[in-house]
Amino acid sequence: MADRDRVTAVSAPGKMLLAGGYIVLDRAYTGLVFGLSARINVLAQEIPTSEGVHLTEIVVESPQFLEAQWRYGYHLAEEDGGIKVTQLQVGTHITPNPFVETTLNYVLTYITGTSKHFHKRTLKSARLTILADNDYYSQPTSSPPSSAPSTGTGRFARFPVPLSGAHKTGLGSSAALVTALTAALLSHYLSFDLNSPDSKLVLHNLAQAAHCAAQGKVGSGFDVAAAVYGSCSYRRFSPSVLSSLPKSGTPGFATALDNVVHGLNGVTWDTNVGKAGVGLPQGVAVRMCDVNCGSQTVGMVKQVLTWRAQNSEAAGKLWGELQQKNEALADVLKGGWTDDIKEAIRAIRKLVKKMGAESGVPIEPDSQTELLDALEGVEGVYGGVVPGAGGYDALALLLKDDEETLKRVEQFLDGWSKEKGSLVCLLGVRGEMEGIRKEEVAVYDGWVQ
């Protein structure tokens, strides 16, 4: 086990966009997003070397998966280009990881700043270990995943496949990863207080910039906001905030990134993240139901946006109606009116289904509709949605928070799986309010080298 005093551990929650799918892409509308108890954890530590030996290498690994190690060299790019990392070969091949690589380019550039006196010894080499709570990935059906060494809890399962072969459940792993990786690097290299509002703002802006670049500048950023701040109402930033940022490593990138992160020289962040009044009525829980499929969110978003551009009047009317129904659900939850939850959710689902039909995108596929309708009939279930961009990601359920309801839902899903011949199960993840946080290193005994 490594010296715990030399290891920094942070975690960021996944997300569930209960209301606001697609419309949250436009600043005229808002989304209601819940943080989740499933977290992406990142541990940062120096790579020990012999006296007089200096490495310029960042090693990133995800030991829960096969062949999941990425090694990078780094150098200072010319003309204020910031830090540029270059992936090194591991074994006989190179497997790109754009989210990790982009985050390293952005965060290491921010950490070193725009100083012309940078020297390669300014950044010491580091090892970053990524651990994902089990609910981010569908569990294998043939045999249970083996538990982690020394943990005894099995919180971090080992999967017998490469990362690319794992089935995501749709809890926002990329945003949680980028946010946790950013926070771990900032905490490791700088005096960075994750509890400070100013620090959280820096983290939010930097993680938004990196995540946006990694996924091709598509998305509203609600998932990163949830990873930083936890459950909230969210109004996105104007796309112009990041659109003028040069590509990492190109001339002027370092100064431009500093301006973006700190809102300097004409850059104005107009994001609105609200915590007040966001929550659930007493006795109501958010749970997730995995259908073991997963969706390609970016492709779906692009198709919906194309439809909207070609049908602006009809789409505008539909999005306006959705905003009203989403606000109505938020008011019901805020007021604690549990008897009204089911009808509020049905109204949203009806409009989402209409959007899917008109855009040609399976936002709420027929198989998901059938399952959600059937779950509504289970005593104690208030209703559910296909959250966020929809598709075949995990369903979000609002249900009575007691053991009897839980048992009824599990029994129903077991019968449904046998009848349909496909695995559908309730995940252990729950909705929670907290965002990014520092963790005790002892939690990860057995995983830190």
Q: What is the pLDDT of residues 174-194, one digit of tens each?
A: 999 999 999 999 999 988 999
Tell me the chain's radius of gyration from C-alpha atoms: 22
Question: What percent of the chain is modeled with pLDDT above 70?
Answer: 90
Res 240 pLDDT > 80:
yes
What is the C-alpha to C-alpha distance for residues 133 and 139, in angstroms, rounded to an integer? 12
Looking at per-residue pLDDT, the higher value among 77 and 118 belongs to 77
Give the range among 161-175, 232-246, 348-362 with minimum mean pLDDT.
161-175
Cβ atoms 149, 178 nearer than 8 A: no
pLDDT tops 80 at residue 408 = yes
Q: What is the pLDDT of residue 422?
A: 84
Residues β-bridged to residue 33: 17, 232
Reported as type and span, the H/E element at residue 331 is: helix 312-335
The pLDDT assigned to 171 comes to: 87
Over range 364-384, report the average pLDDT: 96
Please tell me the pTM assigned to this model. 0.91
Question: Tokens standing for 245?
Answer: 């940022």
pLDDT band at 35 (very low <50, low <70, confident <90, very high): very high
- Asked if pLDDT for residue 143 goes beyond 50, the answer is no
Highest mean pLDDT among 55-69, 160-174, 252-266: 252-266
Across the range 353-357, mean pLDDT stands at 96
Angstrom distance (rounded) from CA 294 to CA 4: 37
* Separation CA 353–CA 359 (nearest Å): 10
Residue in 234, 186, 190, 235 with CA at minimum distance from that of residue 210: 186
Please determine, for residue 147, whether its predicted confidence score (pLDDT) is greater than 50: no
Single out the residue of 432, 288, 428, 280 nearest to residue 372, CA to CA. 288
pLDDT at residue 90 is higher than 60: yes
67 band by pLDDT with thresholds 50, 70 and 90: confident
pLDDT over 70 (residue 2): no
Tell whether the model's pLDDT for residue 145 goes beyond 70: no
More confident residue, 29 or 148: 29
As a whole number, mean pLDDT of residues 389-396 equals: 88
Contacting residues for 57 by C-beta, under 8 A, at least 6 apart? 47, 71, 72, 73, 74, 88, 125
Whether the per-residue pLDDT at 148 is higher than 50: the answer is: no
Overall average pLDDT of the 84-91 stretch: 88
Backbone φ and ψ for 148, nearest 5 degrees, come out as: -70, 150
Query: Strand 395-400 and strand 437-438: pairing?
Result: unpaired
Give the pLDDT score at 10: 98
Please report the domains of the chain, with CATH numbers, ordered by start residue: 4-276+438-444 (3.30.230.10), 284-432 (3.30.70.890)
Tell me the average pLDDT across 38-51. 85
pLDDT, greater one: 50 or 98: 98
Closest CA to 33 of 347, 295, 330, 401: 330
By the 10 Å C-beta count (0-12 exposed, 13-18 middle, 19+ buried), 197 is classed as exposed
Average pLDDT value over all residues in the chain: 89
Provide the pLDDT for residue 55: 65
| Residue appearing with tokens 């459940």 | 169
pLDDT of 151 above 50: no
| The pLDDT of residue 38 is above 80 | yes
Phi, psi (rounded to 5 degrees) for 173: -65, -35
The amino acid at residue 129 is T
The token pair that represents 196 in the structure block? 């400070």
Give the tens place of pLDDT for each residue, 252-311: 999 999 999 999 999 999 999 999 889 899 999 999 998 865 555 668 888 999 999 999
pLDDT at 39 over 50: yes
* Least confident range of 160-174, 342-356, 372-386, 418-432: 160-174
At residue 54, the pLDDT reads 57
- In this structure, the chain runs to a length of 449
Specify the pLDDT at position 91. Answer: 72
Higher per-residue pLDDT: 14 or 216: 14
Does the pLDDT of residue 49 top 80, yes or no? no
Task: Please tell me the distance from the alpha carbon of residue 43 to that of residue 439, in angstroms, as a whole number.
Answer: 9
